[in-house]
Structure 1
Amino acid sequence: MSEEMVIGILKDAIMTGMKAAAPILIVSIVVGLIVSIFQATTQIQEQTLTFVPKLIAVALVGLLTARFMQHTVMSFTQRIFDIISTITA
């Protein structure tokens, strides 16, 4: 196993993780920003107000993008198994 192969696998793993997590993270950031703007304009400083909308939004996005995330991770796993099968001892 060469150094370039290891670096390529690590790069692919990081990109796969970013692709799989991106929808949930982006929605969480956007909802958090919207709730923060709402809290700043209304001067309601309730700490628990940020969690419920984020939880609902993340759950909905998780349900809607579960197939995409599964496909992304399964594709990476298949590539890893293909690499393992080509390595000779």
Structure 2
Amino acid sequence: MHADLALRMLAELFWTGMLVCLPVLGLTMLVGLLISILQVVTQVQEMSLTFIPKLLTAAISLVVFGPWMLRTLASFSTRLWSDIPSMF
């Protein structure tokens, strides 16, 4: 295996990982930010008020984006395994 091939595969691995995590983390972060702004405006400092909406957002986004995430990871894994014979 050559160094450039290993670096390309590693970059593709990180890119795919970031792409798969982005919908869940992005939506959860957005909901957390909105709840934090709401808490600042209303001066309500309740810990469960931030935790429960973020948990529900993460669960719902996993249900919605889960099939796409699995397809993306399966496609990456298939491509990686099919490239193994040509590496050496």
Please classify the TM superposition score into its range, dividing by the shorter chain length: over 0.9
CA distance in 1, matches of 2:39, 2:71: 38
User: Which amino acid is 2:35 matched to?
Assistant: V
User: Which amino acid is 1:19 matched to?
Assistant: L
Residue 84 of structure 2 is matched in structure 1 by 84
Q: Identity of aligned pairs, percent?
A: 34
Residue 33 of structure 1 is matched in structure 2 by 33
CA distance in 1, matches of 2:5, 2:74: 20
**How is 1:1-89 mapped onto 2 (pairs within 5 angstroms)?**
1-88=1-88
Structure 2: unaligned runs, 5 residues or longer: none
Shift of 1:59: 0.5
RMSD between superposed Cα atoms in Å: 0.8
Please report the TM-score for the alignment, with normalisation by the length of structure 2.
0.95
1:43-65 CA distance string (max 9 Å, x none): 00111210100011111110000
User: Which amino acid is 1:86 matched to?
Assistant: S
Structure 1: unaligned runs, 5 residues or longer: none
User: Which amino acid is 2:86 matched to?
Assistant: T
How many aligned positions are there?
A: 88
1:36-86 CA distance string (max 9 Å, x none): 011001100111210100011111110000111001111110111011122
